[in-house]
Structure 1
């Protein structure tokens, strides 16, 4: 792995501009050019694998994916689909979704993957209906329409082609994907491919939409390709050995769909699509897959690692397979709690007699997604590193923080059909305003990296007028009360003291309480309450100020809801959305009413 240092420009107004001294290498002309190159170089190498109904791996090669993309691309041309309207995808990661994705991009039709939660976890489907109405896709792909039947019924499908892998015969007007896959390519396909360049829109990725209609972020081929070229300059082992990934992260988010999937494609690797999820009852599938698949790098959100660790610590076969070929861990979406970091380190040392890099990045849907890299051991778990090759970071004073802004070939050109939001997203120097705050880990040595310092808009004032920095305090609380807090939201705006709404860690709380209690019992568990009271008491002794002292905690049973925007597109908790949706819980927290509340002092 390579570390390039940083160039620093300090301005008289306190602004600091950071750039990477290493120039960005030459870019491939598009995502599709990368697919075609690898299909020519190693046509029989597995590109994507997924479990079939018999639990065997269905495997498709680079040649298979290219042939499918060509057929689907031709079918789209034959059907009159063009670059002015996207193809929407409503279902989960799958080989068929990849066929549709690359098929659409082959002929310059943007693909718009939509969170399956909008269809499967919503009762009114209002967000889904708004997304479809606003973005006006010409085609909608759903792999298996049966669980999506209520969502399909809620949509206006006039003027749209519904495409399914199964069950098309039972839906009036629906087209079977197999029909598209049987289409033969013509010269029109080659002409369409020749028109694709780095500025062509490849994807429209939706943000979480916590405060209204999800924004459609335009993702050009330049954004996606430059990200992967930059990453391969940093992580040179990607060029030396085709990566192998076992991955669940959803392709409708930029982490899974751009960082991970495009990483495999750019470097000619293989992705095993993991049907497991970082929730109790489904994480076991991930561990079972790890017994068979030995990844060369492993990428997840902190919650995923938190749930995996107790199982890995007890499963020698899964541990051996995971660490056999592993080069590094990667996390994003939130800071990795110190206890999780330490346990990953301990496993690596036990299995390999060495520490493995645990790396991260800062970015968003608008940055495709990475803008920084971290490949050294930092002092702070919130360190997000330095600008990648070709990227710039600007830190500008904003009240008592430094606001992060970004510029580079990875930055979006704007939001689909939302020009007003596009204009607001950039400053006068065309830096993207990501809304995050940062500070140097070492003020005297910027090369040690930027520490994530919360969201600019999420800080608030107590009744006394004292500012509360939610990002830093949240991380302190999670670390202090380890292992019982999975995540938390800081409360106290216009109140006398600070509190927390806590999403408990089931496994961590069970280890404290003993036994296998369910969440509804954990929130009122005396041992869990005692642990929180004791640990936060120590925190309060060390941090006695009104803006850092945590006086009260409410343990919640309902997990964060994607459909309500409580989880951002970056995978972390949306403070404002949770507080707005759970305002009654905040009121109850300050009244002290309930056996799920802990008062620390």
Structure 2
């Protein structure tokens, strides 16, 4: 197949320590790095003043802000913030999702050294998740809070933790105590915006990003200007086509998450690109809005999670016109969050060849909130998903292998955080005695004899467990395998078996798939008890058992959970990740049922 050539070939160097550790780094030099995000904004406002930077849906069309208009509004908003006496110690908490005003406020704060803290909008909009919002407010101690609509977010704005905090809303509605966002656009000529901008250095903290809280209470990651600016240089070093023509995206990924808010947002700003905000999502009832938006504007890059790509593939197969518009200028297909199913991968390859006669770079990377995020990149073409590539420029990986060459990964580089906000002990625990950030993730080499083929993500070290026999179970890899074996019946699942004799799975079902297959919704104390469904699960477990060997991968029992994972009970994070420990603790009775041989609601071999 013909593939685009706009990539940097892998080239890594390695050295081994006496203790068996491996240091892995890129052979390429890190390119020039901007001082701060304001430098990008000034550059593109000068080079391409009329080019669209930010856009969101407005009625039947789009509200668009050019680079020149963005710079002008950023400076005016920054003046209004400074006039209120705001600075590095008076953060702004942003409680709404993606939007033009959200972006302008964030850039204005960064422009003069004021920290922002974007949090998941679900924490404000879902009553039961207000505890997460309360935790963030009490940690951040903001002087200002922003929401897009004061009526829509009215319940959250009544939290005691926001007493004394100025509330700003794009649509104040009926709340007379709320400052209209338009008031910030009046500016203040009595403050020195240029002077404040001159004090913003690479070490200035630009924003505080909350971790997902999937393994502990959410922590605030101090994200500096250097982290964000270096990471965009690293990305463009790996993907030279970003510098060859201005990129364009139609993107929904939330800005409270490092992938959407730092990786994607700053990729447009750093390279003079255009960011069209997709107000749809890959969920039932909202994906039609994404398709409507794509019918109006398509991108040169596309970012999504595997579920989103699966839904998009199906839609493109049904709409030939949209398929051609989608692929005609596409340089990159980038998935994150999990491996892209191979049939989806191949479907996009085939469509690209049909439309363009060549395949865009299909890839992924690896990183964390603490690393800004991109740290490893599969920057050259590969035939399948799941590979996260090699270290990017300026980064050193410390790999600590076990006897099977499964490596714990630690990271050092200019894109790594200085620490967690107001958490000295947690910061100290996060780094080893050589200054490497301890990620807790595991990797394996695609080919241990050719390191340039890159590495594959192999789960969290903390997710692994032992059976009573002493056999180690690599839960992350097994989870991916079981999701494939149970597709499309399982939306997600948890692998169980710690301190037990057998491996089991607790399944969160794909309700649409169950309905389409004609399975009933019979329930029995928190589990689905449809005999036909249990028989199908037994068949699939048995079929898989005939194809594998070894107790570390043999799954012998399954239970289907009737209740979806709860955000309010912290079973699932705002990013959609399962909190395995919370699910197992909250549903302890169902875990016990899974290992009860007399229970008729369990599929077992």
Query: Which TM-score bucket, shorter chain as reference?
Result: over 0.9
The question of 1:41 aligning with 2:55 is answered: no
**In the TM superposition, what is the alpha-carbon distance from 1:197 to its structure 2 partner?**
1.0
Give the direction of change, closer, same or farther, for the CA distance of 1:419–1:190 in structure 2 (3 Å limit): same
Specify the alignment match of 1:384 in structure 2: 388
CA drift of 1:558 comes to 4.0
Aligned ranges for residues 168-317 of structure 1 at < 5 Å? 170-172=175-177, 174-185=178-189, 188-317=192-321
**What does 1:366-405 correspond to in 2, within 5 Å?**
366-378=370-382, 381-397=385-401, 401-405=406-410
Contact 1:48 1:270 in 2 (8 A): yes
Given that 1:441 and 1:450 are in contact with CA atoms closer than 8 Å, whether structure 2 keeps it comes out as yes
Deviation at 1:596, TM superposition (A): 6.7
Q: Look up the SS of the partner of 1:146 in the other structure.
A: coil
**1:171, distance to aligned residue in structure 2 (A):** 3.9
Distance 2:368 2:546 in 1: 36
Residue 3 of structure 2 aligns with which residue? none
Q: Retained in 1: the 8 A contact 2:567–2:574?
A: no
Matched, 1:9 2:15: yes
Q: What TM-score, normalized by structure 1, do the two folds share?
A: 0.93
Unaligned runs of 5+ in 1: none
Q: Give the C-alpha shift of residue 519 in structure 1.
A: 11
> Which of 573, 581, 595 is the equivalent residue of 1:576?
581
Q: Does 1:483 align with 2:488?
A: yes
Which digits, 9 at most, give the CA deviation of each residue in 1:290-332, with x for residues without a partner?
Answer: 2222210100111211233322222223222211211121011
Q: CA deviation at 1:418?
A: 0.6
Give the Cα–Cα distance (whole angstroms) in 2 for the partners of residues 240 and 390 of structure 1. Answer: 22
Match of 1:323 in 2: 327
Does the aligned pair in 2 maintain the 1:463–1:496 contact within 8 Å? yes
State the Cα distance separating 1:551 from its structure 2 match: 1.1
CA gap 1:375/1:4 in 2 versus in 1, 3 angstroms: closer
> Which secondary structure does the structure 1 equivalent of 2:223 belong to?
strand
User: How far 1:463 sits from its partner (Å)?
Assistant: 2.2
Q: Kindly indicate whether the alpha-carbon contact (under 8 Å) linking 2:214 and 2:577 is maintained by their aligned counterparts in 1.
A: no
Contact 1:302/1:336 (<8 A) preserved: yes
Aligned partner of 2:350 in structure 1 is: 346
The residue that corresponds to 1:63 in the other structure is 68
Q: Is the 8 A contact 2:122 2:574 kept in 1?
A: no
Counterpart position of 1:114: 119
Alpha-carbon spacing, 1:70–1:347, altered in 2? closer, same or farther (3 Å): same
Equivalent-residue separation in structure 1 for 2:207 and 2:575 (angstroms): 17
Work out whether 1:544 is the aligned partner of 2:549: yes
- The DSSP-based 3-state class of the residue aligned with 1:125 is helix
Cα deviation, residue 415, structure 1: 0.5
Aligned twin of 1:438: 443
Q: How many residues align?
A: 596
- Contact conserved, 1:385 with 1:448, CA < 8 A, in 2? yes
Alpha-carbon separation, structure 2, partners of 1:554 and 1:574:
18
Distance 1:584 1:226 in 2: 48
| 8 A Cα contact 1:362 1:370, kept in partner | yes
TM-score by length of 2: 0.92
CA, structure 1 residues 570+144, in 2 after alignment: closer, same or farther (shift >3 Å)?
A: closer
Contact between 1:108 and 1:200, CA under 8 Å: does it hold in 2? yes
How far off is 1:559 after superposition? 3.9
Query: Per-residue displacement from partner, 1:53-105 (whole Å, max 9, x unpaired)?
Result: x2311111112221221111111111011101311000110001011101111
CA RMSD of aligned residues (A): 2.5
The Cα shift of 1:44 comes to 1.0
1:255 Cα shift? 0.5
- For residues 361 and 538 of structure 1, the distance between their equivalents in structure 2, rounded to whole angstroms, comes to 33
Write the deviation string for residues 164-186 of structure 1: whole angstroms up to 9, x where unpaired.
111266243x2111011111455
Secondary structure of 2:149 counterpart: coil
Judging changes above 3 Å, is the alpha-carbon distance between structure 1 residues 259 and 176 closer, same or farther for their aligned structure 2 residues? Answer: same
1:579 positional shift: 2.5
Which moves more between the two structures, 24-33 or 350-359? 350-359
Give structure 2 stretches of 5+ with no counterpart.
1-6
Structure 1 residues 221 and 594: alpha-carbon distance in aligned structure 2, compared to 1, 3 A threshold:
farther
Alpha-carbon distance between aligned partners in 2 of 1:168 and 1:257, rounded to the nearest angstrom? 27
Matched, 1:28 2:29: no
Other structure's SS at 2:221 match: strand
**One of 451, 462, 466 as aligned partner of 2:467:** 462
Are residues 271 and 197 of structure 1, via their aligned partners in 2, closer, same or farther at CA, if it must alter by over 3 Å? same
Return closer, same or farther for 1:176/1:110 CA change in 2, 3 Å cut-off.
same
Task: Please give the residue correspondences for 1:73-88 in structure 2 after superposition, counting only pairs within 5 Å.
Answer: 73-88=78-93
Q: For residues 583 and 337 of structure 1, do their structure 2 counterparts lie closer, same or farther at Cα, with a shift above 3 Å needed?
A: farther
User: Does residue 412 of structure 1 match 2:417?
Assistant: yes
CA–CA separation in structure 1 for the residues paired with 2:564 and 2:311:
14
Q: Could you say what secondary structure the match of 1:362 adopts?
A: strand
The answer to whether the 8 Å contact 1:117/1:563 transfers is: no
Aligned to 1:156, the other structure's residue is in SS state helix
Question: Cα gap change, 1:331/1:484 in structure 2, threshold over 3 Å: closer, same or farther?
Answer: same
Q: Pick from 329, 333, 338: which aligns with 1:334? A: 338
Aligned equivalents of 1:495 and 1:60: distance in 2? 58
Contact 2:74 2:104 in 1 (8 A): yes
The 2-side partners of 1:402 and 1:504 are apart by 32
CA distance in 2, matches of 1:214, 1:579: 19
Q: Structure 1 residues 240, 499: closer, same or farther in 2, change over 3 A?
A: same
Moved more, 4-13 or 136-145: 4-13
